[in-house]
Structure 1
């Protein structure tokens, strides 16, 4: 409960700071005040077009997370098991991770053009390397003595994977999930802005073209709110999972 009050106090501080800065700037075309943005949010959320765009963006986020986690963990698990494979593939994974989003956007637009698929592909390519490396590092940091002991006592491979490898991967995986969930919203919305045909990112692009600055802030605030909610739920889940894991 104490943390909740601190969190709410932080939001109040942001609200007051935003109000003061908007007053100093004195231009709604640069920084509208928070009350204007809140009223705009309330108005926009009554429009079916905005609800549909929001659901479209959320569906892309869910698909990106599902593919990134399932594929990334699977590849990372097998990459981490073999030192040679890890050493050979690691430079390539790091290169893919270092490629700017704008480069992926350009390539995707050349191949698939404007549409639903582009933002999903861009987001997966941007986030997948981190998941693979985090899982592989977790596998590689597994205590080798536990593996040798399991071999001596002829423990089933399924038990070794579940109780030893997963115990080592779990902290790395949960940490990677926090990073991915913190970035997936930004990546998806930016990709929608550049090469999407539907979604919140597209609405932001339209609002920019019509110089509806308050709508740009409103759509951004909606995504930030959802992202913070999901991130806080994940943090609670992470702490609970790690605590239960330590007790087992």
Structure 2
């Protein structure tokens, strides 16, 4: 309960600082008041056009996240179990991780032009190395005593993989999701903004081209709230899955 009130106090402080900035910075021209932004956001996100734009961005986020998890976890498990494969592929993974988003954007525009593939692909590339390397760290963190005991009692390899390897990786998978959801939203929005296509990023671009500063703030705030809601939803699903896995 104490943390709840602290969170409310933090939100109140943020709104207060926002209001002060709105008053002092060109009388709300560059920074609109919180009440105006919230009112405009509510009006925007009750329109069918903006709801469709939010859906366009959301499904790209979830597809990129699903691809990163489904491809990154098996590869991370393989690299964690094989030092040779890890040292062979680590430079490639680190290179993918180090390449700036803007460079991927340029390549995507040259290859596919405007459309949904660019945001999904770029977001996937930004999440994939994190999923792989976090899984590798989880495998290396396994209790070697459990593995030795499994070998001693000749536990079947499939059961070792499920009960020990995958079971021990669940906290690391939760960590991947914790970091990746917000990152996916940011990258998809930037990609939509620069690559075009339908979505909230394209709506923010249109507002910027029309010099509609309040709309930029309202759309940004809406995207932030949607990101937080999706993060809370995914965390809740992950916790239930982890609890069900532990009971089974």
- Tell me the TM-score normalized by structure 1: 0.92
Give, in whole Å, the separation in 1 of the partners of 2:48 and 2:239. 37
Partner of 2:227: 227
Residues 1:7 and 2:12 aligned together: no
Contact between 1:119 and 1:196, CA under 8 Å: does it hold in 2?
no
Give, in whole Å, the separation in 2 of the partners of 1:119 and 1:51. 19
Partner of 1:161: 161
Q: What secondary structure sits across from 2:32 in the alignment?
A: coil
Residues 1:83 and 2:44 aligned together: no
Contact between 2:177 and 2:235, CA under 8 Å: does it hold in 1?
no
Q: What is the aligned residue count?
A: 248
Residues 1:211 and 2:211 aligned together: yes
Contact between 2:41 and 2:222, CA under 8 Å: does it hold in 1?
yes
Please list, as runs of the form range in 1=range in 2, the aligned pairs for 1:114-125 lying within 5 A after superposition: 114-125=114-125
Give, in whole Å, the separation in 1 of the partners of 2:134 and 2:44. 39
Partner of 1:48: 48
Partner of 2:143: 143
- Tell me the TM-score normalized by structure 2: 0.92
Give, in whole Å, the separation in 2 of the partners of 1:70 and 1:6. 37
Residues 68-122 of structure 1: per-residue CA shift (max 9 Å, x gap)? 1111111111111101111111121111101111011011111000111111011
Contact between 2:174 and 2:235, CA under 8 Å: does it hold in 1?
no
Give, in whole Å, the separation in 1 of the partners of 2:227 and 2:19. 22
Give, in whole Å, the separation in 1 of the partners of 2:25 and 2:243. 47
Residues 54-73 of structure 1: per-residue CA shift (max 9 Å, x gap)? 11111111111111111111
Deviation at 1:242, TM superposition (A): 7.2
Contact between 2:77 and 2:135, CA under 8 Å: does it hold in 1?
yes
Deviation at 1:145, TM superposition (A): 2.6
Root-mean-square deviation over aligned CA pairs: 2.1
Contact between 1:28 and 1:213, CA under 8 Å: does it hold in 2?
no
Change (3 A) 1:211 1:237: same
Deviation at 1:234, TM superposition (A): 4.8
Please list, as runs of the form range in 1=range in 2, the aligned pairs for 1:181-200 lying within 5 A after superposition: 181-200=181-200
Deviation at 1:4, TM superposition (A): 2.5
Partner of 1:92: 92
Deviation at 1:192, TM superposition (A): 0.5
Give, in whole Å, the separation in 2 of the partners of 1:3 and 1:235. 19
Deviation at 1:161, TM superposition (A): 1.0
Deviation at 1:238, TM superposition (A): 6.3
Change (3 A) 1:226 1:201: same
Partner of 1:102: 102
Q: What secondary structure sits across from 1:32 in the alignment?
A: coil
Q: Which moved more, 1:203-212 or 1:40-49?
A: 40-49
Deviation at 1:239, TM superposition (A): 6.8
Please list, as runs of the form range in 1=range in 2, the aligned pairs for 1:3-42 lying within 5 A after superposition: 3-42=3-42
Give, in whole Å, the separation in 2 of the partners of 1:84 and 1:175. 26
Contact between 2:25 and 2:31, CA under 8 Å: does it hold in 1?
yes
